[in-house]
């Protein structure tokens, strides 16, 4: 049955290899089980319910990816998108988390429709590669600021906006230790480096009496506090149009980049350089996003950590199905997730930020018409505490600078349309 479903022999792999690959992938991305509930709990969402929703969204998305698309790529609520959900849509713009979930659902539905009608290719091909790198880097810098705040290393200041916190407190010390451990283990290619760092800081915090724990294993918490609590009607507010677009836009490029990059590592690209069954993979992503919104979590997306499983031999959807099974098993470890303090997950956020900002290395810094909009987009995200604003400023500055520099031929119809829409949004619906 497994051979017929996943074509193990045709992909030069075995059942044992696929199980090992799935376990490896899960260990490298399991930190989301701790980070996501902590982050969404900051806006009043029930921690236990979000934990269950995170597990189920990861299980559903990974299972669909494995069963339908037959790719060794795992899914879960995405980093960056959960920060946008928490700190921008709810924290800064003032919408309820129910409305924010409605926006996530609508963006997932639009992603689903775009995947069917192949609009995705037109949008992706229309956005300049440097702007894509700028968006990734900007999200990374945004996560870095959140990490430093959660660790107590950076605090607010009425005169200078931000300043250095009290480094003698336990949180900054333990968070710094966790970051050093994660980076060192990742450099040594130790599987599960991020999760090891989180658990190490948590163990030290509990051992030193800075936090407590009520156990390790229990029945899964109730999902009722967040189940079907999304407000789709409220999300149709005019002011949320850019928010829905931001959810859709970031997920679109994050998913596409991850799918293509991971597929290349696994030699799953065909002779024409295209990814077979790409439409099915995108349907898995969009379906998981809609399901996750209904259960109570932010956008679900493909995880680049899937490359870890591919590195040990994962080549088929069985790898993703193993990840799905492990997400379901994780439902019984809710007490452990609730015992992890914010400063224990801060190192993981900062580590992800390091990885996401690496895209700036590909920018042509000698071309000011490219470098300037990239810096604008990347810095606007953390400084305005909004991914949506960063994207808007990046598009507008790219179009305006290219136009006034006499390089209007570098612009396409999509850039003109999107820039005008962003100007209208910032001018009238900010």
pLDDT at position 159, please?
A: 86
pLDDT at position 172, please?
A: 95
Q: Is residue 56 part of a domain?
A: yes
Q: Is residue 44 part of a domain?
A: yes
Could you give the number of structural domains in the chain? 1
Q: Is residue 359 part of a domain?
A: no
Structural element, H or E, at residue 242: helix 241-265
The pLDDT tens digits of the residues spanning 27-86 come to 878 888 888 998 999 999 999 999 999 999 999 999 999 998 888 889 999 877 888 899
On the CB side of 430, CA atoms within 13 Å amount to: 12
Structural element, H or E, at residue 65: none
Partners of 302 in beta bridges: 75
For the chain, residues with pLDDT lower than 50 are none
**Which letter, b or e, does each residue of 109-148 get, where b requires 16 or more Cβ atoms within 10 Å of its Cβ?**
bbbbebbeeeebeebeeebbebbbbbbbbbbbbbbbbbbb
pLDDT at position 36, please?
A: 92
**Which letter, b or e, does each residue of 57-90 get, where b requires 16 or more Cβ atoms within 10 Å of its Cβ?**
bbbbbbbbbbbebbbbbbbbbbbbbbbbbbbbbb
Owning domain of residue 86: 13-212+221-354+364-428
Tally: H helices and E strands in the chain: 20, 4
CA proximity to 45, closest of 96, 111, 110 = 96
Q: Is residue 341 part of a domain?
A: yes
- Specify whether the CB–CB gap between 255 and 283 falls below 8 A: no
Structural element, H or E, at residue 68: none
CA proximity to 71, closest of 305, 270, 310, 232 = 310
**Alpha carbon of 416 to those of 159, 167, 408: distances in Å?**
39, 47, 10
The pLDDT tens digits of the residues spanning 108-131 come to 998 888 877 767 666 666 778 888
Residue by residue, DSSP assigns 112-130 as: HHHHHHTHHHHHHHHS-HH
pLDDT at position 273, please?
A: 56
Structural element, H or E, at residue 422: helix 413-428
The residues near 10 (Cβ < 8 Å, ≥ 6 apart) are none
Q: Is residue 281 part of a domain?
A: yes
Residue 74 phi, psi (nearest 5): -100, 155
Residue 13 phi, psi (nearest 5): -145, 175
CA proximity to 220, closest of 101, 59, 39 = 59
3-state class of 164 per DSSP?
strand
On the CB side of 141, CA atoms within 13 Å amount to: 24
Residue by residue, DSSP assigns 372-388 as: HHHHHHHHHHHHHT-HH
DSSP state of 211: S
Alpha helices in 312-411 (DSSP H): 317-329, 334-338, 342-357, 368-384, 387-404
Q: Is residue 8 part of a domain?
A: no
pLDDT at position 69, please?
A: 85
Q: Is residue 68 part of a domain?
A: yes
3-state class of 194 per DSSP?
helix
**pTM of the complete model:** 0.74
């Amino acid at each position: 049955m497994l051979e017929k479903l996943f074509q193990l022999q045709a992909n030069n792999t075995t059942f044992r290899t696929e199980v090992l690959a799935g376990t490896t992938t899960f260990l490298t991305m399991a930190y989301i089980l701790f980070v996501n509930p902590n982050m969404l709990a900051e806006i009043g969402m029930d921690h236990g319910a979000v934990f269950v929703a995170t597990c189920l969204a990861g299980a559903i998305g990974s299972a669909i990816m494995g069963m339908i698309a037959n790719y060794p790529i795992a899914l879960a609520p995405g980093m960056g998108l959960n920060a946008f959900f928490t700190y921008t849509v709810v924290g800064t713009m003032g919408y309820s988390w129910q409305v924010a979930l409605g926006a996530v659902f609508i963006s997932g539905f639009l992603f689903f429709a775009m995947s069917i009608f192949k609009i995705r290719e037109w949008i992706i091909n229309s956005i300049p590669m440097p702007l894509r790198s700028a968006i990734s880097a900007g999200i990374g810098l945004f996560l870095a600021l959140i990490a430093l705040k959660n660790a107590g290393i950076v605090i607010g200041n009425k005169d200078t906006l931000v300043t250095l916190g009290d480094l003698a407190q336990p949180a900054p010390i333990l968070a710094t230790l966790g970051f050093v451990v994660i980076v060192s283990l990742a450099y040594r290619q130790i599987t599960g480096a991020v999760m090891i760092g989180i658990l190490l800081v948590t163990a030290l915090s509990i051992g030193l009496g800075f936090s407590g724990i009520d156990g390790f294993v229990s029945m899964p918490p109730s999902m009722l506090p967040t189940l079907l609590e999304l407000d789709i009607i409220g999300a149709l507010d005019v002011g949320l149009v850019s928010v829905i677009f931001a959810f859709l836009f970031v997920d679109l490029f994050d998913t596409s980049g991850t799918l293509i990059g991971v597929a290349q590592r696994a030699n799953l690209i065909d002779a024409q350089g295209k990814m077979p069954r790409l439409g099915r993979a995108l349907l898995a992503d969009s379906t998981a996003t809609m399901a996750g919104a209904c259960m109570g979590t932010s956008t679900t997306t493909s995880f680049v950590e899937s490359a870890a499983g591919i590195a040990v031999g994962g080549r088929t959807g069985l790898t993703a199905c193993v990840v799905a099974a492990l997400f379901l098993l994780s439902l019984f470890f809710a007490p452990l997730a609730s015992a992890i303090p914010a400063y224990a997950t801060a190192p993981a956020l900062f580590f992800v930020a390091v990885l996401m900002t690496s895209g700036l290395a590909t920018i042509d810094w000698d071309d000011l018409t490219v470098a300037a909009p990239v810096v604008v987009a990347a810095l606007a995200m953390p400084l305005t505490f909004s991914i949506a604003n960063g994207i808007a400023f990046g598009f507008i500055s790219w179009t305006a600078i290219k136009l006034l520099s006499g390089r209007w031929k570098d612009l396409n119809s999509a850039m003109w349309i999107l820039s005008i829409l962003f100007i209208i949004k910032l001018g009238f619906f900010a």
